[in-house]
Structure 1
Amino acid sequence: MPRTPLPIGTWGEISTRTLKTKKNGKPVKHLAHARFRDHDGKVRAVTATGTTKTAARTALLAKLQNRAKTNHSGDLSTNHTVNHLLDLWERRFEGLVADGTRSPTTLATYRRALKNHVRPAIGELHISEATTQRLDVVLTDIKDHAGAPTARTCRAVISGAMNLAVRYGAITTNPAREVDAIEARPKSSPRALTAEEVTLLNRSLTADEHAVEADLPDLVTFMLATGVRIGEALAVLWNQVDLDAGTVEITHTIARPPGEGLIRKTTKSRTGQRVLSLPTWAAAMLRGRHTPDIHPDAPVFPDTIGCYRDPSNTRRSLRTALSPVGSTARRELGQTLQALRRQNHLSRKQVAQTLGWPQTRIELIETGRIKPTHRLVSTLTKTYGINLDRRPDLLTQLTDAAQPAESDQLAWIHSHALRKTTATALDQAGQTARQIADHLGQAKVSITQDIYMGRRIANPAAAQALEHAFDDHDLR
């Protein structure tokens, strides 16, 4: 009867023998040997050496285990850990990025989710232990501590890995598929800028020396005129602008994958590659920026040395510009809070980590660029061991700093609000959802309708249509 073959990725009995001895006959080197069945079905000899039998055996075991783990083209079983499955999934995703079918920024986002949330929560489980119930509890916990968007990213990662486990035969169904939908009410309803707010925004940026130095007035004008994302705007080259025809070609975006620096990469999908007609005021702005000696391959919105700008740094500059110092009282309160922080020998980063805030919020408070509230300041002063309600001097400063200022009208604006403003303007002009989606470079019209298109409060045409439809009926 033939011998039963070794299962794929396993090895047979380990044997040892002496390789070298001293003159007195004492062994000084041992060889451990085993036969390993690789994932191509072939059985190969694997060896390792050590100064003792135990050392040689231990070295061989490590070698065999590593061989079984890294050679992943074959079977995957329920006894493998989720970490092993995630390693396989991550390597496959890296291949998709190398092929150009997935974005490197998406890979970076997934890796953060893996490192910070998914692996610590379920990495040491066996695949069979990653049940729907257990995943539901884990994702709910992530949502409670890190927010719904992060939880959705983690669910996408887990679901992708479990799909791979199904394809490899380790499990029959994807346990992440039946996890409850991760929903959360948005912190604030997204809205577009009004015409008055656009005027105020332009006037504020033009009058801000730092905003002008950061080249924000023209950049914001371009984004309002085209509805492009900030990375797409920073990736536009002069050879993509036709000043005579008044058009601009959008084909790339700027990103910074970890460890790679700034790169100019193609848009997520073919839908993102488009040619847009420019309003006359946007074309005039670009003509004013263009000079005869400018290189055709130069970016339209470069950094100070003529290279690509970092989207993250540009967003930070925009946030700072849209949060100007509201009043002298806010500046003075910020300086007081900064002094209290320094007395406690704390950095902004340390305070932000303690409170779970973004570090920029501490900066905005201390520079008087954000409207303070009692809750905000009270939370901050508790970190410094101070009860706000027992400090009349601080309460007086807070009352003065909380008075309304014109700059408060701009503090809510972010780069995506400019994109929504463009979409809403096109919607109000009678453009169809498909036309607006094409202009924004979005493949799914539903996303354009749900997120970017403003809704009219009243629709007189609907009332007229209903009136004619039921005109013959006695509804009065």
Structure 2
Amino acid sequence: MQASDRKRNTKVMYAGVARTHILPSSIGRLTLDRIRPSHVEGWVVELRRKGLAESTIRSAYTILRAVLDTAVRDGALGANPAAAIRRPRVTAKEAPYLTPAQVAELLRAAEGSRYAPLFALLVHTGLRRGEALGLQWSDVDLAHGILRVRGTLSRVDGELVVTEPKTAKSKRFVPISEPAERLLRAQQEAQAEERRHAASAWRQTGFVFTTEAGEPCDPRNAFRALRVAAAKAGLPQAGLHTLRHSAASVMLTRGVPLKVVSEILGHSSIAITGDIYGHVSPDVARQAMSTLGDAFDR
């Protein structure tokens, strides 16, 4: 695990899954040479009976298979028993999103919160929560209207750290719209005022979104603030990722090509964008067919 090139927070998550769902389970009590494909299948059924999320079950299977692959590599096993069974599936779910009117209501409900500018930026850029919180002023070019996504802020082992983005394509440049430029300039001014007020207590970290003392904002606090605003707006199901999904849905329904939306969102492939936002495609398809009909019905 330590030699893996996966992100640090991914390693921590995998270690937690292994401790919780592999080691104390029926399969965790078997020696390597006794594990058979039927044992792996039984273990997966065991996890399902516990009511675990499909994604958690697949992660547990992925970890187990990787462990057994290592055993095969080192000569402790002749073949990987987990490779003989089908990888647990994860049912594709439509991404929840808000209408522009609902987004406006949510942002109004968030007014007064120090996280309101963060919420607005997520809507206007489609950034992930960690990408926006990991944004530094050196990544923002207001003169040319563009920002650069280089990392993700997250809490790992109790410490706030900026890690590598989710995928290679997550490292990207995102254009800044006029509303996004206005809110970033307002954020600059607000932060400068807090810096003057904090005086020597201010810590210069360079982050766009900071605490009153200049420290990076904890993603958990941003989540809590969003939940408060969402409840106030009568949108209890809305989360931080909902704002990203809402940005994507608006772009797609307004005719922005799927490939362009995929690049803005930083997805590893256009297929992923299509899978997540398939519920938007019918509207776009109808518009396309209307355009086709208008062109030939003359």
TM-score, reference length from structure 1: 0.55
- 1:107 maps to which residue? 11
Pick closer, same or farther for the CA change 1:464–1:225 going to 2, 3 Å.
Answer: closer
Describe the superposition over 1:243-301 as per-residue Cα deviations: whole angstroms up to 9, x where unpaired.
Answer: 21121111011122125x11122213331111111110110111112139579852111
Structure 1: 5+ residue stretches without partners: 1-92, 207-211, 325-406, 472-476
Q: Deviations over 1:336-381 (max 9, x none)?
A: xxxxxxxxxxxxxxxxxxxxxxxxxxxxxxxxxxxxxxxxxxxxxx
Aligned counterpart, 1:424: 249
User: In structure 2, how many angstroms separate the alpha carbons of the residues matched to 1:249 and 1:258?
Assistant: 27
Matched, 1:322 2:221: no
Q: Is 1:451 matched up with 2:286?
A: no
Equivalent in 98, 105, 128 of residue 200 of structure 1? 105
Decide whether the 8 Å contact of 1:239 with 1:297 is kept in 2.
Answer: no
Of 4, 20, 29 in structure 2, the residue corresponding to residue 116 of structure 1 is 20
Shift of 1:178: 3.1
Please give the alpha-carbon distance, in whole angstroms, between the structure 1 residues aligned to 2:277 and 2:244. 7
Could you tell me which residue of structure 1 aligns to residue 263 of structure 2? 438
Match of 2:117? Answer: 218
Contact 2:262 2:269 in 1 (8 A): yes
Deviation, 1:161, is: 1.0
User: Given residue 314 of structure 1, which amino acid in structure 2 is its aligned partner?
Assistant: A
- Whether 2:153 is the aligned partner of 1:254: answer yes
Q: Deviations over 1:122-160 (max 9, x none)?
A: 222111222111111111221231221211110110111
Asked whether the 8 Å contact 1:159–1:174 carries over to 2, the reply is yes
Counterpart pick for 2:60 among 151, 154, 157: 154
Task: Verify the 8 A CA contact 1:234 1:254 in the aligned structure 2.
Answer: yes
Separation in 2 of the partners of 1:109 and 1:263?
A: 15
Shift of 1:459: 0.8
Q: Distance in 1 between matches of 2:66 and 2:59?
A: 11
Contact 2:227–2:239 (8 Å) recurs in 1: yes
Q: Give the secondary-structure state (helix, strand or coil) at the position aligned to 1:275.
A: strand
* Identical residues among aligned pairs (%): 25
Q: Which residue of 2 aligns with 1:301?
A: 209
Structure 1 residues 285 and 460: alpha-carbon distance in aligned structure 2, compared to 1, 3 A threshold = closer
Q: Report deviation, 1:184.
A: 5.6
Check conservation: 1:237, 1:296, Cα contact below 8 A. no
Is 1:142 paired with 2:47? Answer: yes
The match for 1:279 is 177
Flag structure 2 segments of 5+ consecutive residues without an equivalent: 196-202
Deviations 1:142-200 (A, max 9, x none): 123122121111011011111112222333332212334434657x7433211211121
Amino acid across the alignment from 2:177? P
List aligned pairs for 1:3-402, cutoff 5 A: 93-96=1-4, 101-121=5-25, 122-145=27-50, 146-183=52-89, 189-206=94-111, 212-213=112-113, 215-259=114-158, 261-291=159-189, 297-324=205-232
Shift in CA distance, 429/276, structure 1 to aligned 2, threshold 3 Å: same
Q: Is the 8 A contact 2:8 2:163 kept in 1?
A: no
Change (3 A) 1:250 1:464: closer
Distance across 1 between alignment mates of 2:49 and 2:269: 29
What is the total number of aligned residue pairs between the two structures? 283
TM-score normalised to structure 2 length: 0.85
How many angstroms apart in 1 are the aligned matches of 2:221 and 2:41? 36
Show the counterpart of 1:338.
Answer: none
Structure ranking higher on relative contact order (CA contacts 8 Å, 6+ apart)? 2
Q: In structure 2, what residue type is equivalent to 1:415? A: L
Structure-2 separation of matches of 1:464 and 1:314: 42
> 1:85-131 deviations in whole A, cap 9, x for unaligned?
xxxxxxxx2123xxxx3111111111111111100112221112221
Contact 1:102–1:268 (8 Å) recurs in 2: no
For residues 205 and 419 of structure 1, the distance between their equivalents in structure 2, rounded to whole angstroms, comes to: 16
Aligned-pair CA distance for 1:444: 2.2
Pair member with larger Rg: 1
